[in-house]
Amino acid sequence: MIAVFHRAKIILGLTIFFGLSACSATYMNHGYVPTDSELSELVVGVDSKASVDDLIGAPTSSGLLAGGDYYYVRSRVRSYGMFRPQVIDRQILAISFDDTGTIANIERFSLEDGKVVALSRRVTDSSVVGNGFWRQILGNFGNFNPADFF
């Protein structure tokens, strides 16, 4: 009897332990941003895209407009149990180039510098809104041209 009670306590303790450990937060790191010591090797107005590629590596994204600016992005995301993942840290390094391809500016942004941007949704309006199933079926009678069969 005592052995059964002892086993039940052990099983209950292990169940509580594994249940609580399943709710611990997990962190995911995405992306790469060069350190300040790596950036100190770059000289604004002197270095070009090729030297940036050699010293700190090519970015995963670059601008589509005129100079093709470089953007290095690093994010840290926390996932906790059943809750939506939350971005807890984000750093962006922007290296802009002038018309000759040399570095014009180096800027660093963080999550605190960001603003919420409302993206426009381009949705095609449906012509069947407000029409029930039978109205759509019966509305198709007479909407055909016999010449289309030939």
- pLDDT by residue (tens digit) across 39-56? 888 888 888 888 988 899
Tokens of 95: 């290296």
Break the chain into its structural domains and give their ranges: 23-113
119 falls in which pLDDT band (50, 70, 90)? very low
Name the percent of the chain lying above pLDDT 90. Answer: 4
- Tens digit of each residue's pLDDT (9 = 90 or more) over 76-102: 999 887 788 888 888 888 888 888 888
pTM of the entire structure?
0.60
